[in-house]
Amino acid sequence: MTKTLSSLVFQSRASLSDEDCWPWTGAINGGGYAIYSGKTVSRILYRLKIGELLAPELVRHICDNRSCVNWNHFIKGSHQDNMDDMTSRNRQAKGEQNGGAKLDADDVFDIREAYASGQWLMRGLAEMYGVSIYTISVIVNRKKWKHLP
């Protein structure tokens, strides 16, 4: 393969028994991607097996398995291509899955119901839930938490 990732190292750290994805059993970075000597294994393998990557191109996993090192699952693309994949495959963090969420689905339902009743203003709901008026506005106008009915 290369000085940085020999065939022996690859075979010792890739689980090749599975017919489809080949999970990496070596080091994984914080994003869940296989790494070797500080470099992303998918980028190393793409260059070795498929072709060159020019900045700012990146390797996309068609299998959605970040630790997969099966180069047949790699295609190159842009950051926007990758974001489009995430959206089309419904993998983006929404609602409570968003690490910064202060509310949960029940809160959102309650906020929408309270506002629709006409008994609460956005300012009062914002104070009650400890969020901004803007947050209440995007919830009641269904610009955020759109995945909820």
Q: Which two tokens stand for residue 93?
A: 């963090």
Place of tokens 């959605």: 64
* Domain-wise residue ranges, the chain: 7-88, 95-140
Instruction: Please list the pLDDT of the chain residue by residue as tens digits (149 residues).
Output: 544 578 878 888 888 866 689 999 999 999 899 999 889 999 999 999 999 999 899 999 999 899 999 999 999 999 999 989 988 887 776 777 666 778 999 999 999 999 999 999 999 999 999 999 999 999 999 998 888 88
Q: Report the alpha-carbon distance of residue 135 to residue 37 in Å, rounded.
A: 43
Residue 71, phi then psi, degrees to nearest 5 = -65, -15
- pTM reported for the whole predicted model: 0.63
Helix, strand or coil, per DSSP, at residue 138: helix
